Structure 1
Amino acid sequence: MALPSWEDPKLGSMKRVALWLATVAGEGRIFTYTQLRDVFPGVAQIDRRVRDLRGRGWRIDTAREDTQLGMHELRLVSVGEPVWEDRKGPGKETSGLTGTRRREVLAKDGHICRSCGISVGEDYAGSFERSQLDIARREVRLPDGSTAVELITECRRCRVGASQLETDAAQTIAEISHLGSMELRMLDSWVKEDKREFGKVELLWAAYRTMPADSRERFRVALKSSLG
């Protein structure tokens, strides 16, 4: 099926930008906002159209995600939702997220990245980079076997490549029945607080798993020595 022309003035600006990126720029290719402004001289806030596409599953990297890019360059890594198609039927969104809906999702997610737990403006460990939170769409497999697309808060770093992730809510919910009473109470307390404090042993284990091989060996030797 042939795609509409990005030059069709009857299409909205986001659809036209999406079509130009998909058919002219192409996946894997580099473009700039200046280039987009030259192609669409009558479109205001062209950068907002790009942000809208990111919210529809389009992966568009900047120098923050791809160190090979220049400060003003962007790369279309992968095309997401075909926004130029008519969206009909219940549950279909016809536009990007509203500010109100965005705030609702952030509030429900506790204003943290649900993938890594970082909060907005917080420095990533071992770097001077500060986090930025965004709203992503995640495909979810439901207990009845159907799938749905749900909104989730993620930082920009975790969103890189995350468009292919799927949440298996059905399997996760089914696992509850395999827990004992003590484990259920423990899990319930974590869910109520939406937080879990890790003990020293768990923190050491997590740190050990991230070490290079030589450092892991040093750790094992030190641990064995402590055991006597």
Structure 2
Amino acid sequence: MKRVALWLVTVVREGEVFTKEELRQAFPGVSQVDRRMRDLRDFGWVIHTNREADNLDPHEQRFVQQGIAVWEPGKATRPRGTIAIGAGKRREIISGDGNMCRSCGITPGAYYEGTHEPAQLDIARRPVHRPGGETVVELVTECQRCRLGARDLVADLDAVLRSVKALPADERRTLAGWADADERDFRSIERVWSSYRSLPEESRAEVRAALGL
């Protein structure tokens, strides 16, 4: 991992694109060198694939930003609470999360509304505040948009206006009230459901147990 970090800094350099083949050629005979590079993300290194940047091909990656200088003595200790994510663990988390993004509900391969961009699911590390004040890190499924925010999205006023006109009169009155107050008054149960829905599976299981399920 330390050697890969130095290669990224001295050969690839921040902001530049490299390929999986170039990485493997730089470290001949090193098994699972791709995984060694992914481990750098636990130390604050930002390396994008085509999941995070739609202008990258599947075989390309971009070295976005250097994190902790792991080659320095004492700097390569894995941060406390870090969870390693292997292929088996990734499948387990996505399956436990219902094969959908827990933030927006989109499923893999489904197109984002108004685009031809298919959703891809990945695993995010989410801090969870537990009873008693402890904060732990759990794994949760999210799509690339929810992980990165609304990157390059364009608001479509025309579509919104057409949707408003298509609403039944009673729903338009309800929407008018929300627009006038500039907020929607969610019922308590709706707020709890929204919070529950976004929890990682480990925490959702505790809520279900509390409900007697």
Alpha-carbon distance between aligned partners in 2 of 1:82 and 1:144, rounded to the nearest angstrom: 34
Structure 2 length normalisation: TM-score? Answer: 0.53
Alpha-carbon distance between aligned partners in 2 of 1:54 and 1:139, rounded to the nearest angstrom: 16
Structure 2 partner of 1:183: 187
Q: Secondary structure at the match of 1:129?
A: coil
Structure 1 partner of 2:140: 152
Alpha-carbon distance between aligned partners in 2 of 1:87 and 1:104, rounded to the nearest angstrom: 26
Q: Secondary structure at the match of 1:27?
A: coil
Identity rate of aligned residues, in percent? 49
Structure 1 length normalisation: TM-score? Answer: 0.50
**Count of aligned pairs:** 160
1:57–1:137 CA contact under 8 A, matched in 2: no
Alpha-carbon distance between aligned partners in 1 of 2:86 and 2:122, rounded to the nearest angstrom: 13
Shift of 1:72: 4.6
Q: 1:28 aligns with which of 7, 12, 15?
A: 15
Q: Secondary structure at the match of 1:41?
A: coil
Could you report, residue by residue, the CA deviation over 1:110-168 in whole angstroms, capped at 9, with x for unpaired residues? 32223332112222223333222111223456676665433221223433379xxxxxx
Alpha-carbon distance between aligned partners in 1 of 2:51 and 2:87, rounded to the nearest angstrom: 24
Structure 1 partner of 2:77: 87
- Is 2:136 aligned against 1:132? no
The correspondence of residues 1-228 of structure 1 with structure 2, limited to 5 A, is 14-54=1-41, 58-62=45-49, 65-66=52-53, 69=56, 72-80=59-67, 85-87=75-77, 92-93=81-82, 96-139=84-127, 147-160=135-148, 183-188=187-192, 194=197
Q: Report the residue type matching 1:120 in the other structure.
A: P
> Gaps spanning 5+ residues in structure 2: where?
151-185, 199-213
> Gaps spanning 5+ residues in structure 1: where?
1-13, 163-181, 196-228
